[in-house]
Amino acid sequence: MAYALTACSTPPAPTPKAEPVATISAQPPPGPSLADQIQEAIAAIDLIILRYDTLLTTIERLPSGKPSEKIFEEVGAYIGGDLFESVEPPNQDRILATIAKSFSFATQVVMIEAGVQADLISLSDKLVDLNARTADLSSRFDQGKTVRTYARKVRRELMPLMAQLRAMARADTTDREGISKLDAETKKIVALSRQSLQALERETRSIETELGGK
Amino acid sequence: MTRKAIIVMSSSVSALLAMGTGVNSYQQTQRDQREALKATVVAMQFFDGALERVKTSIGQSSDMREDLIRQTDALLKDTVTTEHELLEHGSRIAGLSKKRTELSLEAARILSDAKAAMSEASDAVGECRRIVQKEKLKASQAARIEDELRAKTKLMQEVRAGLDRFESLVGRCESLAGSLQLYAEQNRTALERMQAIKRQTEERLSLQRARQAAAQEVSERLSRVQAELKQDLESIQPKN
């Protein structure tokens, strides 16, 4: 009633500034807008891609002799796998169990030695979190579905492809070194063969000349 | 009456306020939707950028791989040429071995003949000396024969030196035989190694070409995703 009366009063008296401020401060702070949440999701994907790229670089730089191509293959399959379809909060036990199941023993040993496994666990946490975020966006907003679709495409297609491309780059590097060595070996073999043959031909001619000049 | 009017007015004001709140809320929702849509467009552009970066990286690595393929292909051609050259070296060494056998035989024959002749000459000189010592020849005859014997002995010494040279030649022929045999063995090993290098190079070239094809396929796949993304982007982008 008092409120109605106040509203009725003409002309409205200039309301003291303190009153609405007091009202706003009494309310809980507004949550992030949808736009903010989308931006946060994108920032999260960006960070995930960056961390993943760093992880792949570490694997690519493993000393030769380590089965890095196999590791890339397993990492790509793991990242693109079903673990990150869950919208439940990140669960370390579940992540560890999936890692144990997804990677061969040899790969796990190499990853632990290279300090990659901890990064992979951290990345997995972020992927589970991202999936929960995009699932939430998708349920609340039409275009959220599009964001979720492409976030999934990034994880399911782009990230395994990134691993595949690194595996190819690693194989190229190994090949480049190998081809260079084989090329040097080929040149050495033919040069030595020519040199020895020429010496033998010279010696034969020399004997022949001496005999001929008997 | 006044009370009634106040009640009516207050309820009307309440309705207006409620309507105002509804309008505000609606406008807020619309604003949120617009902002969210803009953020989605930005998100899609981000995805497009991520795809483009990977495609660029594929393009760069493909160029480098193309260069590697050229190198590998050149090595393969080299191994084929080298293999032929080593085979030809093998033929030449077989020719040299045959030649060496002939030279050895010739040297041995000459040496043997020379030794026999030398022995005969030596015997003849010895006999002549005995005759000169036994027979009483005229002094002038003896002196002439002695001169001839000295000349023949000197000649025999020279021939003996020549024989030493032939003996050394026979030794060189034997040594050459060993060297040729060793070379033939090394040539066989080199040829086997070259064939192994050729096989390895062929395998690597084949794998590189497979990787290049896979990279091409990945690039095409990404292009399809990009095209799909662009369509989606157009469909959600606010029209002016």
The residue ranges of chain A whose pLDDT is under 50 are 1-26, 214
Intervals of chain B under pLDDT 70 = 1-2, 13, 16-22, 136-137, 238-240
Q: Which residues of B touch A196 (CB under 8 A)?
A: 183, 186
Is A172 within 8 Å of B64 when comparing Cβ atoms?
yes
What is the per-residue pLDDT across A1-19, written as a single tens digit (0 to 9) for each? 333 333 333 344 444 444 4
φ/ψ (deg, to 5) at B238:
-60, 135
Residue B47 and residue A204: Cβ atoms within 8 Å?
no
CA-nearest of B208, B198, B200 to B81 is B198
Q: Where are the domains of chain B?
A: 35-236
User: What is the value of ipTM here, to two decimals?
Assistant: 0.76
Q: Return the pLDDT at A92.
A: 82
Query: What CATH number should be reported for the domain whose range is B35-236?
Result: 1.10.287
The distance from CA B6 to its chain's CA centroid, rounded to whole angstroms, is 101
- Nearest CA distance, B126 vs chain A (angstrom): 27
Interchain pair A196, B186: CB under 8 A: yes
Interface test with A, best of B46, B80, B225 (most A CBs within 10 A): B46
| Residue A33, Ramachandran bin (φ over 0: left; ψ between -120 and 50: alpha; else beta) | beta
The Cα angle at residue B29 between residues B26 and B35, in degrees rounded to 5:
145
Q: Which pLDDT value is given to residue B214?
A: 94
Whole-number pLDDT of residue A25? 45
| Total-model pTM | 0.76
d(CA B27, CA A120): 44
Residue B31: both structure tokens together = 């604003």
What is the structure's pLDDT at B16?
65
